[in-house]
């Protein structure tokens, strides 16, 4: 019976070893595979750039899903060059013809100051937290990683912003920006579920940040306690992947529309009135914009704000949740987003209907002959000034 040393020596005699310089040289060849056979916790600490990771224990069963062509040049490494030597012998036995083990392993590679990086992988805690997402092939680890790297800006931490923010944060959207200049009032609590009795009098953005951070510490909550205006909107929305619009007035919606067209950021629109709600997605130059759908604001007396009209508290919960769903679909490129479709919800009938919304070729903002977009402040009559 052979001792471990004898077995290792015999194995090394049957495989090809390269030093770190040889491995670095091999990496420059197109089509080669750098294979990391360490355990997941070792891999998470850092790996060679572009390495394929298959833990030693899964090598035989998983190699074919990563490397089908047995003539592919493969350089294998582990921490020190022992496990990779045995792995090289295994791959040879499986018929792979161009296999080498990197002597000294990742430790020597790192000691020599060669390039390595910490791969973006989910931690054990994250795997647990997002398990129900990972079970969906349409999301999976890659999709979850994408959500964690995504940035969504919420306009308003009120009725629509509350459920949207809660679900986006729970889903692991890595950066959630919130703009709101109000303070929490007792009359908000009937529907604005980000806030609570202890927060009355507090700035809404601060209250929102506390709630969302307590729900999911993975989320970086960025707050803007300002009034959204022509002077700041382009700076604020810059860098966000999706805007969730929970504002309740026409001047702001036109402002958001024009700025989002300029920056080419999709807007998930939501609105509510008494027992009815609407949601749609404005994808710049792909579908209609807000001005295509509503070229002119209705007269003020026809469009009372939430404060004047009243609203059943659950309604924004439903519409804001739909907005969160649409935002996540856009981030993950899933299914059919509400681009060019207006979803109308009637709570009394308990019905959903969708209406087609077309792009207006004459649209002053996104039409073919539209002039240069000027970001202007709009008054209550939506006239620029």
Residues that bind Zn ion (CB under 5 A): 289, 291-292, 363, 365-366
Nearest approach in angstroms of CB 373 to Zn ion is 11
Q: How far is the CB of 301 from Zn ion (least distance, A)?
A: 26
Q: Which is nearer to Zn ion, 319 or 363 (CB)?
A: 363
Write the CA distances from 315 to 102, 163, 244, 270, 346, integer angstroms.
61, 11, 17, 11, 9
Whole-number minimum distance, CB 338 to Zn ion, in Å? 16
Complex with Zn ion: residue 102 or 261, whichever CB lies closer: 261
Task: Please list, residue by residue across 273-286, b when 16 or more beta carbons sit within 10 angstroms of its beta carbon and e when fewer do.
Answer: beebbbbbbbbbee
Rg over CA atoms, the chain: 28
User: Between 146 and 291, whose beta carbon lies closer to Zn ion?
Assistant: 291
- Tokens encoding 196: 């609570």
The nearer residue to Zn ion, 180 or 258, going by C-beta atoms, is 258
Strand partners, 272: 277
Q: Kindly report the number of other CB atoms within 10 A of residue 291's CB atom.
A: 21
How big is the CA angle at 262 (ends 261 and 263), to the nearest 5 degrees? 90
- Beta-strand pair 175-179/99-102: unpaired
Tokens of 300: 């003020």
Which residue lies nearer to Zn ion by CB, 236 or 292?
A: 292
Q: How far is the CB of 334 from Zn ion (least distance, A)?
A: 25
Is residue 281 within 8 Å of 244, Cβ to Cβ?
no
Task: State the minimum distance, in angstroms, from the CB of residue 260 to Zn ion.
Answer: 11
| Residue whose CB is less far from Zn ion, 22 or 367 | 367
Question: Residue 356 Cβ, how far from Zn ion at the closest point, in Å?
Answer: 15
Shortest separation between residue 265's beta carbon and Zn ion, angstroms:
15
Phi, psi of 270 (to 5 degrees): -145, 145
74-77 and 341-346 as β-strands: parallel, antiparallel, unpaired? unpaired
Burial 292-312 (b: 16+ CB within 10 A, else e): bbbeebeeeeeeeebeeeebb
- Identity of the residue, 161 or 288, whose beta carbon is nearer to Zn ion in the bound complex: 288
Closest CB 64 distance from Zn ion, rounded Å: 51
- Tokens 């539209």 belong to 370
Nearer to Zn ion, 198 or 296 (CB): 296
Angle at 173 between CA 117 and CA 354, to 5 degrees: 140
């Amino acid at each position: 019976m052979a001792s471990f040393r004898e077995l290792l020596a015999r194995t090394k005699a049957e495989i090809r070893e390269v030093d770190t310089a040889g491995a670095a040289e091999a990496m420059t060849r197109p089509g080669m595979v750098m294979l990391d056979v360490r355990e997941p916790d070792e891999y998470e600490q850092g790996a060679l750039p572009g390495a394929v990771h298959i833990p030693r224990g899964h090598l035989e069963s998983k190699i074919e899903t990563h490397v089908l062509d047995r003539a592919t040049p493969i350089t294998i490494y582990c921490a020190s060059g022992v496990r990779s030597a045995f792995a090289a012998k295994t791959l040879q036995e499986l018929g792979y013809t161009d296999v080498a083990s990197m002597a000294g392993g990742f430790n020597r590679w790192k000691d020599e100051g060669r390039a390595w990086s910490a791969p973006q992988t989910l931690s054990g805690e994250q795997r647990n937290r997002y398990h129900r997402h990972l079970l969906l092939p349409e999301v999976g680890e890659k999709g979850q990683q994408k959500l964690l790297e995504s940035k969504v800006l919420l306009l308003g931490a009120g009725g629509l912003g509350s459920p949207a923010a809660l679900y986006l944060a729970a889903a692991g959207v890595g950066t959630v920006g919130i703009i709101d200049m109000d303070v929490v009032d007792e009359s908000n609590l009937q529907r604005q579920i980000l806030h609570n009795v202890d927060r009355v009098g507090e700035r809404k953005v601060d209250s929102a940040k506390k709630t969302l951070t307590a729900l999911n510490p993975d989320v970086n909550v960025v707050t803007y306690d300002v009034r959204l205006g022509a002077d700041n909107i382009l700076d604020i929305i810059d860098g966000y992947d999706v805007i969730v619009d929970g504002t309740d007035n026409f001047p702001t919606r036109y402002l958001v529309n024009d700025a989002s067209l300029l920056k080419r950021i999709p807007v998930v629109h939501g609105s509510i009135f008494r027992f009815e709600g609407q949601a749609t997605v404005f994808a710049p130059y792909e579908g209609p914009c807000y001005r295509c759908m509503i070229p002119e604001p209705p007269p003020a007396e026809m469009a009372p704000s939430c404060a004047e009209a009243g609203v059943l508290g659950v309604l924004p919960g439903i519409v804001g949740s739909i907005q969160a769903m649409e935002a996540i679909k856009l981030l993950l490129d899933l299914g059919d987003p509400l681009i060019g479709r207006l979803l109308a919800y009637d709570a009394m009938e308990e019905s959903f209907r969708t209406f087609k919304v077309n792009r207006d070729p004459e649209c002053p903002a996104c039409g073919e002959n539209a002039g240069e977009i000027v970001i202007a402040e709009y008054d209550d009559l939506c006239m620029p000034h």
